[in-house]
Amino acid sequence: MTERERMFCELYVGPGRHCAALAARLAGYAPGCSHVAGCQFLKQSKIAATVRGLEAALARQINARQTQNKRTKRSQRMLD
């Protein structure tokens, strides 16, 4: 996988908000062909697997934050 493709994956899951064309543009692909490039990337097994892995990692981070927030709120209630 090229550096640009790796960047596409990270941008697709992050700032690109699951918009392949936007992620491709942010990764440096020309606006006129970014929708085609983004669609083609998502069809590649290595890129699709990388995206799934990044999504899973993001989900774990969100769960960890939510769990920590719940614990903090419980602790604050106990102190009140």
pLDDT in tens, the chain (80 residues): 999 999 999 999 999 889 999 999 999 999 999 999 999 999 999 999 999 999 999 999 988 888 876 777 666 666 66
Structure tokens, 34: 């970014």
Alpha helices in 1-80, H assignment, sequence order:
3-13, 20-26, 34-43, 45-79
What's the domain count of the chain? 1
Give the CA angle between residues 12, 67, 6 to the nearest 5°. Answer: 20
- The Cα–Cα gap between 19 and 34 comes to 10
Query: Cβ contacts of residue 53 below 8 Å, gap of 6+?
Result: none
pTM here is 0.77
Instruction: Give the domain range for residue 55.
Output: 3-79
